[in-house]
């Protein structure tokens, strides 16, 4: 003889159906929130991408400015050295 408690542990078709309906309802409730979250993440990713591109453009411009400034500094240092050399030889009047 099988104890009757074993039969109580086996879910009936109605209980299974009810459980599945609750799972579906929870999933249906979460789906719009997940979709909204995904939309927010996509917008944020786009903003980050645009910001990164802008920073790359600005970085390139700064590197160019640095190069120009370094060249000007070199030319000024060279000119100062020329003037100092001329002063030492007495050619500056």
Using the predicted structure, report yes or no on whether residue 73 has a pLDDT greater than 80.
yes
Q: Which residues are CB-contacts of 30 (< 8 A; sequence separation ≥ 6)?
A: none
Domain count, the chain: 1
| pLDDT at residue 10, as a whole number | 56
Q: Is residue 22 part of a domain?
A: yes
pLDDT one-digit tens code per residue, 13-58 = 888 989 999 999 999 999 999 999 999 999 999 999 999 999 999 9
| pLDDT at residue 13, as a whole number | 87
Q: Residue 74 is part of which domain span?
A: 15-89
pLDDT one-digit tens code per residue, 1-10 = 555 555 555 5
Which residue has better confidence, 6 or 74? 74
Residue 67, CA distances (Å) to 59, 61, 62, 71, 81 in order? 12, 10, 9, 6, 21
Q: Is residue 4 part of a domain?
A: no
């Amino acid at each position: 003889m099988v104890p009757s408690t074993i039969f109580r542990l086996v879910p009936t078709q109605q209980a299974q159906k009810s459980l599945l309906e609750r799972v579906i309802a929870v999933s249906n409730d979460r789906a719009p929130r997940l979709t909204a979250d995904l939309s927010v993440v996509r917008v944020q990713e786009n903003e980050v991408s645009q910001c990164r591109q802008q920073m790359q453009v600005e970085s390139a411009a700064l590197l160019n400015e640095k190069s120009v400034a370094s060249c000007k500094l070199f030319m000024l240092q060279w000119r100062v050295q020329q003037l100092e050399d001329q002063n030492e030889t007495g050619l500056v009047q």
